[in-house]
Structure 1
Amino acid sequence: MPVNPSIARAALSVDSIGFAYGNGHRVFDDFSLHARPGEFVAVLGPSGCGKTTLLNLLAGFQTAHSGQVLINGQAVRPELPELGYVFQAPQLFPWLSALDNVRFGLRMAGRGSDAEQQHRARAYLRMVGLEHAASRLVHQLSGGMQQRVSLARTLALQPTVLLMDEPFAALDAISRNHMNEETLRIWAELGQTVLFITHDIDEAVFLADRVVVLNIAPGGIHSELTIDLPRPRSNLITRRLAQFLDYRNELMERISTVMAQSLSLEPA
């Protein structure tokens, strides 16, 4: 089972979906969103706009009542090998080492022999800078290290579409900025199509090719902003650029507009 860092690229299509919860709360009405192969898309919006619900629909954890979600023309389902999901919390098994946590998905999928699984798991730990911590248990890892193990576990399955649900929200600012850089480094190497959910405007600008701003549900997309900043990006350089600040201020204004509209809709 060779470890090949070159990932085939995939297009993600959300076409005219509708979704409501059992209590009648509508989240999406005729909602569409598309990501080009290899594109890094950040989805930004206030609480209540449906960001996590969107990711659950994209992963097949929930099913749209109308419309369709496709990866390279295939309907999504949780077991689709093209899909990888990085959760808000690392979701690691505390009784397993970092290496065995990364290997866990490969074991469940029956991919390769024990030796091949070990080899791939170690390769992806190396990719996230944690080969030296392969034998450590979860409690011996910092929060940032745990999230890197979680990322390595997902990457080891070599998905072509990576769904990331605020994966660094619980980290301190220094660790979060470091993980932003690491995410871009790995994405540049592997080339997955990424949909990244965040509340953090600076994070969205730093990471993305394009930022999608959502309205309060079921308002759909408020607007999109293409981020034309040079790559590779670094915290030291990119966040100091005047263009970075311009994008940040523009998105702050758009989010403020969404929030103002949502307040006007609240009953008196």
Structure 2
Amino acid sequence: MNIRSTPTLKVDQITFCYPGGATVFRDFSFHARDGEFVVLLGPSGCGKSTLLNLLAGFTQPEQGSIRVRGEKTYPENAALGYVFQQPQLFGWLSALENVRFGLRMRNQGDKKAQRALARQYLARVGLDHAADSLPHQMSGGMQQRVSLARALALEPSVLLMDEPFAALDAITRGDMNEETLRLWSALGQTTVFITHDIDEAVFLADRVIVLNRAPGGIHSELTIDLPRPRSNLETRQLPAFTAYRNELLKRISDVMQQSPTH
């Protein structure tokens, strides 16, 4: 994956408060370059999911700006794809129709073209055989693959992923991490991935941004210079992997010692 220097996603001095006055972010800035895989890492309660909702345009900052390729973000922005913590599938729709749903909402092509594209992305996540299956007929890992295919079918410039594998067992989670990197390498989207799992952050990222406790800011950044492609069997055994993990453990420990009003 070639990462160019141009920021695809730019967050500039945003401030956001919850109703009632609690400040979540104050003068917060960061960027993600074209084709970069950025992981936002932090403990529970530091505003990670709130930040992703801001990036997606579901909520708006009180101050500052968030732009994708220079354009302000909003929920219908075709440049954005979103994978939630839970699969968020429609129980009465097949896997194919769940993937097609986003294309329908954005009026991308006719029904035939939508179904062809949906089938293509189901195949990319290894579920072409399950196109007619309903969500209750699929495992949690399969459901999250459908959710990933639905986001990728929109062919976004930026893919936002909000702890999408947190509810999966360790083996399935490892498989999904590998699958995510395979798709990222093939498709080239700038990806912003939220997690509180340090091993997951090291395995996936080009760059890890460690978040402070609220009101949030950036505690530090760490470039992950591990060879790609990465695999669970080999990458996690590298001495450098252990070194990066230990460094991030130290940084998260420092964050946890902060007062909430730091």
TM-score range, shorter chain: over 0.9
Q: Which whole-Å CA distance do the structure 2 matches of 1:130 and 1:174 have between them?
A: 18
What's 2:156 paired with? 159
In 1, distance between residues paired with 2:80 and 2:116? 22
- Length-normalised TM-score, structure 2: 0.96
The corresponding residue for 2:96 is: 99
1:254 matched to 2:251: yes
2:142 is the alignment partner of 1:145? yes
Paired residues for 1:122-133 under 5 Å: 122-133=119-130
Q: Could you tell me which residue of structure 2 aligns to residue 111 of structure 1?
A: 108
RMSD: 1.5
Contact 2:76 2:106 in 1 (8 A): no
CA distance in 2, matches of 1:236, 1:228: 18
In the TM superposition, structure 1's runs of 4+ consecutive aligned residues that sit over 3 Å from their partners are none
Number of residues of Structure 1 aligned to a counterpart in Structure 2:
258
What residue identity is the alignment partner of 1:26?
T
1:81: which partner in 2? 78
Match of residue 24 from structure 1:
21
**Structure 1 pair 96–10 and aligned structure 2 pair: CA distance change class (3 A):** farther
Task: State the alpha-carbon separation in 2 of the partners of residues 62 and 190 from structure 1.
Answer: 28
Within 1, Cα distance between the matches of 2:68 and 2:106?
Answer: 20
Shift of 1:10: 6.5
| Deviates further, 108-117 or 135-144 | 108-117
Alignment-derived partner of residue 38 in structure 1: 35
Q: Which residue of the partner structure matches residue 217 of structure 1? A: 214
Task: Give structure 2 stretches of 5+ with no counterpart.
Answer: 1-5
- 2:257 partner SS: helix
Structure 2 CA distance for aligned equivalents of residues 114 and 77 of structure 1? 25
User: Contact 1:216 / 1:258 at 8 angstroms: preserved in 2?
Assistant: yes
**Alpha-carbon distance in 2 for matches of 1:88, 1:131:** 23
2-structure distance, mates of 1:141, 1:10? 38
Report what 1:3 is aligned to.
none
**Do 2:47 and 2:216's aligned partners in 1 also have CA atoms closer than 8 Å?**
no
Contact 1:18 1:27 in 2 (8 A): yes
User: What is the alpha-carbon distance in structure 1 between the residues aligned to residue 216 and residue 118 of structure 2?
Assistant: 42
Specify the alignment match of 2:197 in structure 1.
200
Gap regions ≥5 residues in structure 1: 1-8
**Letter aligned with residue 173 of structure 2:** R
Q: 1:186 pairs with 183, 187, 194, which one?
A: 183
Q: Secondary structure of the equivalent of 2:258? A: helix
Preserved contact between residue 84 and residue 164 of structure 2 (Cα < 8 Å):
yes
The amino acid of 2:24's aligned partner reads V
Q: Structure 1: how far apart are the matches of 2:154 and 2:7?
A: 15
Q: Deviations over 1:222-254 (max 9, x none)?
A: 000000000000000000000000000000110
1:143-178 Cα deviation digits (max 9, x unpaired): 000000000011111111000000000000000000
Matched AA of 2:179: E
Paired amino acid for 1:104: F
Name the % identity.
68
Partner amino acid for 2:134? Answer: L
